[in-house]
């Protein structure tokens, strides 16, 4: 066996590829440093522009992944490897992953829309995606909503963006709406004045917009009053429930009746 012949072949390959390997390694490590600086700069600029934290983190990861993929392809090309097939493989893999994760990607896209257009923020009381409660968190895939009974509802972001969003916290004031009925034999003016006085006596009820009481309907068995009181959004639920209790107690004191459904049953005695 001619060992010198094989040594010459090894020496030839080493001399030919060693420079390429060194250059490729330099490109990769220097490229990694540059990528880290670029992503850090992009993150700093987004934070300085007061972009939402969730979107900043998502954008940072996306920029880093894309730049790293480009760096890997450049490094392989430096080694003399044909990257055309790799690009085709990455493209096919990306298409397959995209098809498999259509729902998840839709949620990510919806998260970006929520973060950009800000229909609500953490802490707002909303009705969205079939859930009503306080927004606790918005991540890339879902929004966490806590209803009044302190459950946790995880709503896919795509469901939120695809439907109506009601934000009860966006405005500084909210209106408490009630309907109170009295009997036809009761004093209508006394009842109206009583309802108005209940609102005026409550410091949480705003003077502007002014509270309102008016006859809204002459029902089958009651005269129904429309009752509207404007309050600060933070006071809404307290005032909502307090008004129900105050009206009932005050009506009882003043002898004003609140009709309720009754059924009269008449029996006929059959003689045998």
More confident: 6 or 76: 76
Q: What is the pLDDT of residues 60-80, one digit of tens each?
A: 777 888 888 888 888 877 777
Residues 42-60, buried b or exposed e (16+ Cβ, 10 A)? Answer: bbeebeeeeebebbbebbb
- CATH fold group of domain 11-100: Helix Hairpins (1.10.287)
Mean pLDDT for the chain overall: 83
Fill in the DSSP letter of residue 183: -
Cα 215 to its chain centre, rounded Å, is 39
Fill in the DSSP letter of residue 233: G
3-state SS assignment for residue 139: coil
pLDDT of residue 101: 47
The single residue listed with the structure tokens 């105050």 is: 246
180 pLDDT above the threshold of 90: yes
The single residue listed with the structure tokens 């880290």 is: 36
3-state SS assignment for residue 76: helix
Measured CA to CA, the distance from residue 104 to residue 84 in angstroms comes to 29
Percent of the chain at pLDDT > 70 equals: 78
Q: What is the pLDDT of residues 121-179, one digit of tens each?
A: 888 899 998 899 999 888 778 899 999 888 999 999 889 988 899 999 888 999 999 99
Residues of the chain with CATH 3.30.70.100: 173-254
Q: What is the pLDDT of residues 7-16, one digit of tens each?
A: 655 565 556 6
Q: From 3.40.190.10, 2.30.42.10, 2.30.30.60, 1.10.10.10, which CATH number describes the 119-167 domain? A: 2.30.30.60
pLDDT confidence band for 98 (50 / 70 / 90): low
Q: How many CB atoms lie within 10 A of CB 64?
A: 17
Residues of the chain with CATH 2.30.30.60: 119-167
Q: 258: Cβ–Cβ under 8 A, 6 or more apart, which residues?
A: 180, 181, 182, 183, 222, 248, 251
What sign results for the dihedral spanned by CA atoms 51, 56, 60, 61? negative
pLDDT of residue 44: 84
pLDDT of residue 207: 92
- CATH fold group of domain 173-254: Alpha-Beta Plaits (3.30.70)
Residues of the chain with CATH 1.10.287.1260: 11-100
Q: What is the pLDDT of residues 38-47, one digit of tens each?
A: 888 888 887 8
């Amino acid at each position: 066996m001619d060992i010198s012949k094989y040594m010459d072949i090894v020496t030839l390959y080493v001399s030919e590829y060693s420079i390429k390997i060194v250059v490729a390694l330099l490109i990769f490590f220097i490229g990694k440093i540059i990528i880290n600086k670029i992503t850090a700069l992009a993150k700093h600029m987004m934070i300085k522009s007061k972009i939402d934290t969730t979107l900043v983190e998502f954008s940072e990861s996306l920029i880093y992944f894309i730049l790293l993929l480009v760096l890997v392809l450049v490094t392989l090309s430096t080694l003399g490897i044909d990257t055309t097939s790799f690009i085709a493989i990455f493209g096919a893999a990306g298409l397959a992953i995209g098809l498999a994760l259509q729902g998840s990607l839709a949620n990510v896209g919806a998260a970006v829309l929520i973060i950009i257009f800000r229909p609500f923020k953490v802490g707002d009381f909303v009705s969205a995606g079939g859930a009503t409660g306080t927004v606790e968190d918005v991540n890339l895939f879902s929004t966490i909503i806590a209803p009044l009974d302190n459950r946790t509802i995880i709503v896919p972001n795509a469901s939120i963006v695809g439907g109506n969003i009601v934000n009860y916290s966006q405005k500084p004031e909210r209106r408490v709406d009630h309907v109170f009925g009295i009997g036809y034999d009761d004093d209508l003016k006394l009842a109206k004045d009583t309802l108005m006085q209940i609102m005026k006596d409550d410091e949480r009820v705003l003077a502007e917009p002014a509270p309102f009481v008016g006859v809204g309907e002459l029902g089958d068995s009651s005269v129904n009053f429309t009752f509207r009181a404007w309050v600060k959004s933070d006071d809404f639920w307290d005032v909502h429930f307090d008004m129900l209790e105050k009206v009932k107690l005050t009506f009882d004191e003043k002898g004003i009746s609140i009709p309720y459904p009754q059924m009269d049953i008449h029996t006929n005695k059959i003689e045998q």
